[in-house]
Structure 1
Amino acid sequence: MVPFPPGGVQPAVDARQMERAAALVRQYAAPVDATEPAAELKARLRSLIRRLGSQRYAQREAASTELIRIGPAALGALRAISDSGDLEVAARAWSAVAAIESRTRRPLVDRLKQLGLAAVMALNQQMSAAQGALAAAEEAASQAEWAGDAKSLAAARAARSAAGTRLRLLVRLSGQIALPTSIPVPKSGMATRYGIRPMVQMPLRRRG
C-alpha cells in the first residue's frame, strides 16, 4: 500500500488518470504476444535458432543478440524451444524471451511514471487482487489434491501458475515506479516462491 500522509488522508487522484494507470498496469502484466514473422524472416529465424546450439560460442552469442533484436516476431520460435533438452539452448531461449518482453514493456513503465501517484495506487490495487487470486488458487489446488480430483487439480495448478506469473510481473513493476510503495507479504510460502519481500519500500526519486 502507498504510505499516505499522517492523519490517514488519502491524496486526491484524478479519476481519468486512475483509469489510464489501471489500464497500463493491466497491459504490463499481460502476456507479450508473439507477432507473425514475415515470410522472408522465417528462414532467418530457423537459422538463428539452429545457431543457438552451435559448437562455437561466438555463433551462439551472435544468434542470441540477433533474436533479441528481431523482437516479438522471434517470440514464437523462441518459446517453442524453451523446453529443449539442450540446457544451453533452453536457457538462451528463455533469456531472449525475457529480454524481448522487458523491452516491449519498457514504454509502459515510462508512461506509468508520468502518472505518478495514480500509477502507484493502480499498481497496489492490482497487486492486492493478484495476491488474492494466488491464495485462492493455492487453496483450490490443496483441496483438489486432498480430494484426489485430478481434473480440478490441473485447473487449479494452471490458475496458480498464471496468478504467480502476474504477481511476479507486478512486483517487478513496483521496483520501476518512482513513488514509494510497499508490498504486503502473502500467506504461507508464497513470499519466498514468488520473490516478494515484506514491506518493500521504494525510494523517492528526484524529478527534473
Structure 2
Amino acid sequence: MPAELMMWWFKARRAHPVLTAAFGAFVLLLMVFQDNSVVLPSLTGGATQVVLTLFIPIPLVAALAMCLDSRLFSAESTGVRAVTYLDGGLVVGVAGSAVLTSALIGAILGDPAIMAAGRNVVFLTGLMLIARVLLGQPGTLLPMAWVLVVCLCGFRPGNDAYPWTIIPEPLGAPHAAAAAALMFGAGLAVQIRIARNSR
C-alpha cells in the first residue's frame, strides 16, 4: 500500500487531532469517574443508581464516527479499495486500544467497572457502525440514545440491570461479552461491505 495513500487517508479522516483528543478524554474520564455513580429517575419506577463509567465510551465512539464521516468523496469515489480496509483498521485499532487501556487502568485501580468500559466501547462502536449504514449521519447518535434508554428503563427494582442492556452488566457476564463481540463484528462487516458496494 503506497505511503502517499496512507498519508492522504489519515489526513482526510482527521484521525490524529480528533482521536488523540478523544482518547485522552477517555483515559482521563476512566481515572476520574472510577466507581462513582449518580442517581437518575427511572421510567420503571423510583430512582436508579447508575455508575458514571457507562457514559465514558460516548466521546470516543462519537469521535470515531466523526473520523469515518470525514472523507473526500470525489477522491474516494474513484474506487480506491484500500480505503475500506484502512477504515476497518482504524475501527479495530480504536476499539482494541480502548479495551487494553481500560483493562490496564482497571487492573491498576482494582475497579471492574473501569475494565468493563472497554467492552462497552466495543458494543457501542458496533451499534454506531450499523446505525450509520441504516440511518446515515443521524445514526451516530444511537449509542448515546442506547445509554439514555438503559439509564431510564434498563433496571429492575433493586438496581438490577436487565440482561438486554449489556453495558451495565458486570465485567464477567458472558452474555454481555458475547453481545459486544457480535455487535462489533456485525458493525465491522456492514461497514466494509457497504463501503465496497458504494465504490
TM-score range, shorter chain: 0.3 to 0.5
Decide which structure has the larger Cα Rg and report it.
Answer: 1
Greater strand share, structure number: 2
Greater helix share, structure number: 2
